[in-house]
Amino acid sequence: MDSNQLKPLYIKVNPEDNVAIIVNKDGLKKGITFENGLKLLQDIPQANKVLLKDISKDEPFIRYGEIIGFAKKNLKKGSRVAHDEVRLPKAHSLNELKSGKMIDKYEPLQGYTFMGYKNEDGSVGTKNILGITTTVQCVQGVVNVAVERIKNELLPKYKNVDAVVALNHLYGCGVAIHGDNSEIPIRAIRNLSQNPNFGGEMLTVSLGCEKLVPTLLFPEIKDENLVILQECFGFNKMIDEIMKRAEKKLKKLNSRVRTKCPVSDLVVGLQCGGSDAFSGVTANPAVGFAADLLVRSGAKVMFSEVTEIRDAVHLLAPRTVSDEVLAKLVKEMKWYDKYLDESHVDRDANPSPGNKKGGLLNVVDKALGSVAKSGSTSIVDVLSPGERIRKRGMTYAATPASDFVCGTMQLSSGMTLQVFTTGRGTTYNLMIAPVIKVSTNTALKEKWNDLIDLDAGRIATGEKTIEEVGLELFKLIIDIASGTKKTYADVHGIYNALSIFNPAPIT
């Protein structure tokens, strides 16, 4: 049904909630009355919140059955709740969290397979790509020229290779290479180079005088896998050396073929960006349902974004499988608390203007919706930024919430496919791994029909259930991983630059 023709609708998530979000595509006008007698006192755009009960100053706003903030003034039911009328609550104490030592009781899901690229180390890729690692930003210009030459002159001869990618970054020199937190960018660059979608065929380009020497990344690197520009006689020789080594890699990658693999060989990352108030009631819960199916199939799944998890950490602690995993989770939260505090940044700096226009009041509101992506299974492990994923099941991989940084760091953790939910819309995409875009509302799918891969907005209008959309997504993940379908962003060739997280000192 066209949402324009729907009767006035709002979504109330929990019986205790005193706010709800407007469903109707074009919002609702002042004076409209719902079947239960609630009358709007103001115009309220789609996804923005309506107050269901009178509220006095300093009383809590409740969504998802949780306090998302406190009223700065008295408000009447039927009012629109704006972000500047809400006072942020205190963050949950990290010292009082308890692990639930959760043991999953689900039935394993068997029989689902995808067509993937098997690697010698046991990992499985969803793409077949030549990755060229750079040890320092100085070499980026030369490497980019070489990549264009490889695409135009070599790739046409190797039809089984999807692409060649320069793993560019801003690290490598002018840095305190052994300073605090320097292990984060170094680890991320190293692990990014070993993503399963590269098939184990690494090629590295170094300038020759940088602090991030190749052996710091790869202690046993072979000469055949390394080009040092300062050892080349002129620009053309640099390009020739890169292309000569690249062609050897392309010949090996070209022999890779897709074979039937169990879904347990997938490594799936979950992320959201350009979120709105529908995110936590449509797309993210549907992703969570699909994530549960992946976990039941034995896959490795990760979710991230510390600032969008911090205010829901009390919901994650009971799902940790042990005190050890909880301690890792708390450690990452505390590290980020300190990281923000040292820059005098309030955690509520996270929501963007677009998030707020889309009905999200603050970072608490955002976090409670974001955490739904993680589904309902136990949390088996916690990774520091850029660490490789270790265990099957649901893992929390600590990263910043920035789309590009989070995506890059999940690639470093071994992600081979990503699911990305959005309510406001984003053209973000990664070349190294396919990114499935899921819209939180149907209006976005209608507007961006050739950019959004799956519409979860049908949940809000009652056309589909969370489970139905989640199952659709699960099957789409298998198709995209198999190469039988492409995401719209891959069809259009839309790709963003990589962005390694670097909190270490720059000298």
Q: What is the pLDDT of residue 229?
A: 98
Q: What is the pLDDT of residue 326?
A: 98
- Residues of the chain with confidence (pLDDT) below 70: 1-6
Rounded Cα distance between 483 and 486, Å, is 6
Alpha carbon distance, N-terminus to C-terminus of the chain: 59
- C-alpha distances in angstroms, 130 versus 193, 202, 236, 482? 10, 8, 21, 18
Please state the φ and ψ torsions of residue 72, each to the nearest 5 degrees: -85, -15
Rounded Cα distance between 230 and 208, Å, is 6
The dihedral sign for the CA sequence 499, 500, 501, 507: negative
Condensed to tens digits (0 to 9), the pLDDT of residues 229-286 reads: 999 999 999 999 999 999 999 999 999 999 999 999 999 999 999 999 999 999 999 9
Task: List the chain domain ranges.
Answer: 1-90, 129-254, 261-492
- C-alpha distances in angstroms, 83 versus 22, 352, 366, 386? 16, 12, 12, 34
Task: Identify the architecture of domain 1-90 in CATH.
Answer: Roll (2.30)
- C-alpha distances in angstroms, 377 versus 111, 252, 266, 432, 468? 20, 39, 17, 28, 19
Angle at 15 between CA 10 and CA 18, to 5 degrees: 60
In a 10 Å sphere around its CB, with 0-12 CB exposed, 13-18 middle and 19+ buried, how is residue 295 labelled? Answer: buried
Length of the chain: 507
Q: What is the pLDDT of residue 6?
A: 66
- C-alpha distances in angstroms, 413 versus 180, 247, 301, 389? 21, 27, 11, 5
Condensed to tens digits (0 to 9), the pLDDT of residues 145-197 reads: 999 999 999 999 999 999 999 999 999 999 999 999 999 999 999 999 999 99
